[in-house]
A and B are shown apart, each in its own frame.
Chain A
Amino acid sequence: MIKRIFDWLKQPLGLIAVGIAVLALFSLAAYGIYTTQQPPEQPIQFPHQTHVAFGIQCLYCHPGAAKGPAAGIPSQAKCWGCHNQIAKTQTSLLLAPLKDAVTSGTPIEWVPVAQVPDFVQFNHRAHIAAGKNCEDCHGDMSKVTIAQNPQVFNMGWCLNCHVETAGQDHEKLVKLSDCGTCHY
C-alpha cells in the first residue's frame, strides 16, 4: 500500500503534485504573514492624505503624542467640529458612518494600526521630544488613505534606532538599551 503510494509519487505526475502541494503550503504561510501586515478594515475609509493636504497637522487630531504615552484617536466631537461645516459631509457616502455615529451618539469603532504588544511601554512624548517626527515611524501620511505601517514594529527595529540615536553618548546608550526602559 505504502509502496504503491510511493511509486505513484515517484512518477512525473506525482512529482508535480508534490511540487504544487509544497507551493500551496508556502503561499498559504506567506499569505498569512501578509495579511497580518495589511492595514485592517476600518469603519470609515479615512483618507489621511486628504486631511494632510488640507494642511492639518498630525498633532491637531492626535495631540496626545506631544503630551503623553498615547497619541489618541480624536473624539467624534473633534471630527464634527470641522465636518459639520462641510457640506459634503451631508451627502458623501464615505462620511455616512461619521454622520450616523454623531447623530446617534455611538462611538466609532476604529481599529488601531500602529500597535505594540502590551508588554512594551511606549511613550510618544519622549520620542517627539527627542526630535523624532511622526513620519519617521508612521510613514508619510500624505500618501496613504487608511494608515498603514511602513515597517513591522518589532524590537530589532526599535533597538536599531535607539542605538543609533545614542551614538557615542555612553550614558544615553545605557538608558536607551536598558530592558527596563520599555519592558515593565
Chain B
Amino acid sequence: MAYEKKHAEHAHAAHAHGEEHFREKHLMLDPLPRGQMNDMVMESMMEKPTWKFWVVIAILSAIVAYGLVYSWAKMIAEGLGIAGVNRPAYWGIFLVNTVFWIGISHAGTFISAILRVFKAEFRRPFTRAAELMTTFGLVQAGFSIFMHMGRVWLSYWLMPYPNQRMLWPNLHSPLTWDLLAITTYLLSSTMYLFLPLIPDLAMARDRSTGWRKNFYKILALGFRGTEGEWTHLRNAMNIFAFAIIPVMFSVHTIVSWDFAAATRPGWSSTIFGPYFVVGALHSGMGAVIVVLAVIRATMKHMKYFIRAEHFDAIGKLMLIISMAWAYFFFNDYMVQWYGGDKWTKQLLHFHEAGPMGWMWFAMLIFNIVIPWAILWNPKWRSTPWLVSIVGILINVGMWFERYIIIPVSLTINRMPFTWRLYKPGVEIPLGLGTLAFFILLYMIASKLIPLIPVWEVQEGQMAHELKKFGRETVVTVSELE
C-alpha cells in the first residue's frame, strides 16, 4: 500500500513516533486524506461489476427463484408433505434454519452495539458489514419460520390485533413471544443499521449523479453534517446501542424457550437461554469473518480498510466464544446426563451412537477442536483465508448443533412406538434459497450502500495516536468531544 504520506494530514500521531509497522498494522494509525478515503469507498461501491459478478448474481437469482419462490409456492399449494417433517420430528430444517439465521444476525449487533459500548476500536471499519448481516439474516429467519407454518396465509393470526371474534394470540406460548421478539429485533436492528448509515449516505449523495443521487438524497434525509445533526445522531446511536443489547439477548433466549419450555427429553433445560445466545454469537462471529474475507478479497480498496489486525481481533473473540460455547455445552450435557431420566439418557446415547452420530462429533470438532487448534496462534488467526475456513466450519458446526437439537432430538420421545428418523425433502432447496437470498441481498447492498462506515473510520483515525510507555509503544485513543 503505497500511500503518499504527505497527504496524511491527520496522521500526526504516526509521524510523531515514526513507527512504520504500527501504521501498516493499524488502520487507525494509517490515515488518508478525508476526500481520498471517501473516494475509495465510493469507488469500491460504484466500480463497474465484472462479468463474474453478474454470473454470481445470475446463479444466486436462479437458486432464489427455484429454491425460494418456486419451491415455497409449491409447498404452500401442496402442503408440507413435500418437506421431510413427520411424526415425531414435527419440526425440521425450517426451524433449524430459523435458529441458524437468528444466530447469524447476532453478530451484527454484537459487533456494532456491544463493541461500540465497550469502545473496542477495531470494530470501526466493519460495523456496517456486520449490521447488514443482522438485517439480512433476520429476513431469512423470517422466511424460514413462515415456511415452517402449515397455513402460512393465516400467520397474521399470531399478531395481536383487535377483532370481533374476541381472539388474541396465546401469550402463554413461547412461539408468540418468539414472533414478537423477532419482529422487535428486526425493526430495531434495521433502524440501528440505518442511523450510522446516514452520514455515509450524505457523503454518497454529494459524490454521485443521476438516479443514485436521487436515491441517496431520499435516504440521507437531508443530512448536512452540522454540529447539531451530529449531536443528535450520536445520541440516537448511543441510545440504540444500549437498547438493542437486551433485545439481542432476549431474541435468542426466547428462541431457546421454544425448546426449553417444552416437555421433551433433551429440550427442557434451564441453561438453554445463555447456551443459545453464546451459540448464536459463535456462528455470527464465524459468519462475520467469512464476509470480511470475501469483501476484502473481491472489492476495491478494501485491503486498506480491513486488515490483518481485524482478523486477529475477531479471531480472539471467536476463540473466547468457542470456549464459552464449550462450557455451556458441557454444562448442558453434564446435567442432562446426571439427571438420569431414562428417555434423556436414551436421547444422549442416540445423539452419539445413533445414525446421526457423525453429526454430533462433527459439531464438536467444528465448534471446539478446530477453533481452538487454529485460533490460538496470532499468525494463523490473522490469515484471512484460514480464519474464514474456520468461520465456515463453525457455521457448519453450529448448524449441526441446531439440527441435533431439533430433528434429531425429536426422534426420541417418551413413546418409543413412534420414533422415526427425519429425512429432509424440499427443505434443502428452500434452505439453499434463503442462503442464496442472503448472499444476493448482500451483493446488491454492496453496490448500493457504502459497506465501510467511512465517517466512523475517520473519526477513529482522528482520535488515535501512538504513545510510548517506557519501551512499549501503545495505540491509544483520546476521548472524542
Q: Mark A124-145, 1 if CB is under 8 A from B, else 0.
A: 0000000000000000000000
Size of interface on A: residues with Cβ below 8 Å to B: 6
> Which residues from chain A contact B165 at a C-beta distance below 8 Å?
154-156, 159
Tell me, yes or no, whether B226 is within 8 Å of chain A by CB.
no
> Which residues from chain B contact A154 at a C-beta distance below 8 Å?
164-165
Tell me, yes or no, whether B263 is within 8 Å of chain A by CB.
no
Cα A113 to Cα B166 with chains together (Å): 26
- Min CB–CB distance A5 → chain B (angstroms): 14
> Which residues from chain B contact A155 at a C-beta distance below 8 Å?
164-165
> Which residues from chain A contact B166 at a C-beta distance below 8 Å?
156, 159
Tell me, yes or no, whether B163 is within 8 Å of chain A by CB.
yes
Nearest B-chain residue to A155, judged by Cβ: B165
Cα A166 to Cα B164 with chains together (Å): 18
| Interfacial residues of chain A within 142-164, with CB under 8 A of chain B in the complex | 154-157, 159-160
Cα A90 to Cα B163 with chains together (Å): 52
| Interfacial residues of chain A within 97-147, with CB under 8 A of chain B in the complex | none
Interface residues of A: mostly helix, strand, loop or mixed? helix
- Min CB–CB distance A163 → chain B (angstroms): 8
Interface residues of B: mostly helix, strand, loop or mixed? loop
Cα A157 to Cα B163 with chains together (Å): 11
> Which residues from chain B contact A160 at a C-beta distance below 8 Å?
164
Nearest B-chain residue to A159, judged by Cβ: B166
Cα A29 to Cα B267 with chains together (Å): 48
Cα A157 to Cα B166 with chains together (Å): 11
> Which residues from chain B contact A157 at a C-beta distance below 8 Å?
164
Nearest A-chain residue to B167, judged by Cβ: A155
Q: Mark A82-95, 1 if CB is under 8 A from B, else 0.
A: 00000000000000
| Interfacial residues of chain A within 56-85, with CB under 8 A of chain B in the complex | none
Cα A159 to Cα B165 with chains together (Å): 7
Q: Mark B142-166, 1 if CB is under 8 A from A, else 0.
A: 0000000000000000000001111
Nearest A-chain residue to B164, judged by Cβ: A156
- Min CB–CB distance A153 → chain B (angstroms): 13
- Min CB–CB distance B165 → chain A (angstroms): 4
- Min CB–CB distance A17 → chain B (angstroms): 23
Cα A72 to Cα B249 with chains together (Å): 60
Cα A159 to Cα B163 with chains together (Å): 12
Cα A89 to Cα B303 with chains together (Å): 95
- Min CB–CB distance B228 → chain A (angstroms): 33
Q: Mark B163-174, 1 if CB is under 8 A from A, else 0.
A: 111100000000
- Min CB–CB distance A29 → chain B (angstroms): 18
Nearest A-chain residue to B166, judged by Cβ: A159
| Interfacial residues of chain B within 107-164, with CB under 8 A of chain A in the complex | 163-164
Nearest B-chain residue to A163, judged by Cβ: B166
- Min CB–CB distance B81 → chain A (angstroms): 21
- Min CB–CB distance B307 → chain A (angstroms): 41
Nearest A-chain residue to B165, judged by Cβ: A155
Q: Mark B381-424, 1 if CB is under 8 A from A, else 0.
A: 00000000000000000000000000000000000000000000
Nearest B-chain residue to A3, judged by Cβ: B211
Nearest A-chain residue to B214, judged by Cβ: A3
Cα A155 to Cα B164 with chains together (Å): 8
Cα A66 to Cα B164 with chains together (Å): 29
Cα A154 to Cα B163 with chains together (Å): 12
Cα A159 to Cα B166 with chains together (Å): 8
Cα A13 to Cα B165 with chains together (Å): 45
- Min CB–CB distance A135 → chain B (angstroms): 22
Nearest A-chain residue to B163, judged by Cβ: A156
- Min CB–CB distance A120 → chain B (angstroms): 12
Cα A156 to Cα B163 with chains together (Å): 8
- Min CB–CB distance B218 → chain A (angstroms): 14
> Which residues from chain B contact A159 at a C-beta distance below 8 Å?
164-166
> Which residues from chain B contact A156 at a C-beta distance below 8 Å?
163-166
Cα A160 to Cα B164 with chains together (Å): 9
- Min CB–CB distance B292 → chain A (angstroms): 36
Cα A32 to Cα B165 with chains together (Å): 23
Q: Mark A26-50, 1 if CB is under 8 A from B, else 0.
A: 0000000000000000000000000
- Min CB–CB distance B353 → chain A (angstroms): 44
- Min CB–CB distance B252 → chain A (angstroms): 33
Cα A70 to Cα B165 with chains together (Å): 24
| Interfacial residues of chain B within 433-466, with CB under 8 A of chain A in the complex | none
| Interfacial residues of chain B within 164-214, with CB under 8 A of chain A in the complex | 164-166
| Interfacial residues of chain A within 13-28, with CB under 8 A of chain B in the complex | none
- Min CB–CB distance A3 → chain B (angstroms): 8
Cα A156 to Cα B165 with chains together (Å): 4
- Min CB–CB distance A87 → chain B (angstroms): 50
- Min CB–CB distance A13 → chain B (angstroms): 24
A-B contact pairs, 13 of them (CB 8 A): A154-B164, A154-B165, A155-B164, A155-B165, A156-B163, A156-B164, A156-B165, A156-B166, A157-B164, A159-B164, A159-B165, A159-B166, A160-B164
If A156-B165, A159-B166 are given as contacts, then 11 extra A-B residue pairs at C-beta distance below 8 Å, sorted by A number, are A154-B164, A154-B165, A155-B164, A155-B165, A156-B163, A156-B164, A156-B166, A157-B164, A159-B164, A159-B165, A160-B164
9 pairs of A and B residues whose beta carbons are closest in the complex = A156-B164, A155-B165, A156-B165, A159-B166, A159-B165, A156-B163, A155-B164, A154-B164, A156-B166
